[in-house]
Amino acid sequence: MALWNSRFKKSLNETALKFSASIDIDGKLYNEDIDGSAAHVKMLVKQKIVSVADGKAILKALEEIRKEISSGKLNFDWRKEDIHSLIEERLVEKIGERGSSRFLSRRKLSEADAAEAGKRLHTARSRNDQVALDERLFMRKEITRLIKLTRTLQKVLLKKAEQYKSTIIPGYTHLQRAQPLLFAHHLLAYVSMLNRDVERLNDCMKRANRSPLGAAALAGTTLPIDRNYTAKLLGMNGIIENSLDAVSDRDVMIELISACSIIMMHLSRLSEELVLWNSQEFSFAQFDDSFATGSSLMPQKKNPDIAELIRGKVGRVYGALVGLLTVMKALPLAYNRDMQEDKFHLLEALNTTKDCLNIASELLKNTKFNKDRFERNLDGDFSLATELVDYLVRKNVPFRQAHHIVGSVVTLCVDQKKKLNELTLPEYKKISAAFDKDIFKLLTARSSVQNKRSQGSTSPAEVEKQLRFWKMRI
């Protein structure tokens, strides 16, 4: 019979029970549920709401239940509705059995009292504040994992940046060649993006790690509980003050799924580049055979499925974000059963993001980059046109005019099917007298990168500075 069944003449219809059961999902939070209950009962004992002996019996049984679950002895029967009911029911059952044993009679407890101990655990608590607590404890653990995985990916990127420190690549905007970049600069951009992800997760942690416990159903309780004590026992940064807010809100969860969505968006951009770069057209990168797949029909194929799947799985996480936002939209305060759906979205987002972070690190570790191919055809390329503009600006030509002049140079090259370093000096001079023979040494990719001087630019010195900075931080 359900925990709440006392006022009903009938038990819940079986199809309705199956429909409303959530144990297949919230069962994953059993450790957090037990941790929360243990803290709760310690507080009840401290506040003399529950006797020391009852408290001990409850704590002991809770730990046994934890083992029963982890060893697979106690299975998740959907008839028990959710993990909270399952654990409480098992607790009452276990202590009830033991009430008549020598163990408790030695402690001079009356058998009847001892058997009742399990029924005292839920004093001054509702499943509403209980589930909100479990979720926060779970999120806390998962945030730590996400941060670790993100840090690992940053380290892989850093290592590659170190390895290909002098490699130059064509930098793109609109997927059109823009200006040369050091490959390390490109990789460090991802390190920096992922660092904001870590910051977002840390920030989310501050808000997640607050205790809603003691809010009871919504209004608090008449019993003399100590909310701060349970929060402290659980290592949380304090409580969520307003009891109604504590049980009604899921914004921290939405925040966490948003942080996951942004991580996934970053991973999708990395994946997309890897897919492109592994194409024969680009040939900038090559996945190790152990991270590529073939075709069932075309024997020559080497497909980038892993990167594509990371890109594809973003849909799950964005879906989870929109899913939970939609669950919460327009819900009146306080708890509504709709909110049980939250864990489905949370787990989907967390599992997918962790999986993708992990595989992205492995994939990248197992990718070789093709220095020669990256650097081929960069000298004299139109992606050096900006070097000429800056050259003219240094000769005091107003920028807009310089831009126009170099535009004419490019047009001439296009017409004559030449690269920038294939025009003659007289041809340059015909377009602008400000050009001199020293322009030719500007028309290599290496000099383009080397001549950058602004802070955070792709110059070897600045990239080295960034590399050192991140190596120290991560």
Of 299 and 332, CB closest to ligand ARG = 332
CA distance 269 to 463: 21
Q: Which residue has the tokens 């709760």?
A: 40
Work out whether 33 is an interface residue with ligand ARG (CB under 6 A): no
Which residue of 30, 36, 128, 157 would you call a contact of ligand ARG, by CB under 6 A? 128
Per CB under 6 A, which of residues 223..242 are in contact with ligand ARG? Answer: none
Taking the complex as a whole, the smallest distance from the CB of residue 75 to ligand ARG amounts, in Å, to 18
Distances (CA, A) of 137 to 134, 236, 253: 5, 9, 12
In the bound state with ligand ARG, the residue whose beta carbon lies nearer, of 34 and 194, is 34
Of 333 and 414, the one with the shorter C-beta distance to ligand ARG is 333
Q: Is 12 in the site for ligand ARG (CB under 6 A)?
A: no
Residue found under tokens 């992606």: 383
Counting contacts by CB under 6 A, is residue 249 touching ligand ARG?
A: no
**Which of residues 84 and 345 has its CB atom nearest to ligand ARG in the complex?**
84
CB distance 333 to 248 below 8 Å: yes
122 labelled catalytic: no
Active site (annotated) includes residue 174: yes
Amino acid at 69: I
340 binds ligand ARG (CB under 6 A): yes
Residue 243 binds ligand ARG, judged by CB under 6 A: no
Decide: is 284 part of the binding site for ligand ARG (CB under 6 A).
Answer: no
> Do the beta carbons of residue 360 and residue 377 sit within 8 Å?
no
Indicate whether 129 belongs to the interface with ligand ARG (CB under 6 A). no
Please state the closest distance from residue 136 (CB atom) to ligand ARG, in A.
Answer: 13
Which span (45-53, 125-133, 273-281, 390-398) binds ligand ARG, by CB under 6 A? 125-133
Which of 131, 168, 198, 246 binds ligand ARG (CB under 6 A)? It is 131
CB-nearer residue toward ligand ARG: 26 or 462: 26
Least distance from C-beta 124 to ligand ARG, angstroms?
16
Q: Of the listed 6, 71, 174, 296, which one is catalytic?
A: 174
Is 142 among the residues that bind ligand ARG (CB under 6 A)?
Answer: no
Q: Please select the residue that binds ligand ARG; options are 94, 127, 185, 250, rule is CB under 6 A.
A: 127
Segment lying near ligand ARG (by CB under 6 A), choices 127-135, 142-150, 352-360, 363-371: 127-135
Catalytic member of 100, 279, 295, 408? 295
Which residues between 71 and 90 bind ligand ARG (CB under 6 A)?
Answer: 82, 84
Q: Are 126 and 216 in contact (CB under 8 A)?
A: yes
Site for ligand ARG, rule CB under 6 A: 22, 26, 82, 84, 127-128, 131, 335, 337, 339-340
Positions annotated as catalytic residues are: 174, 295
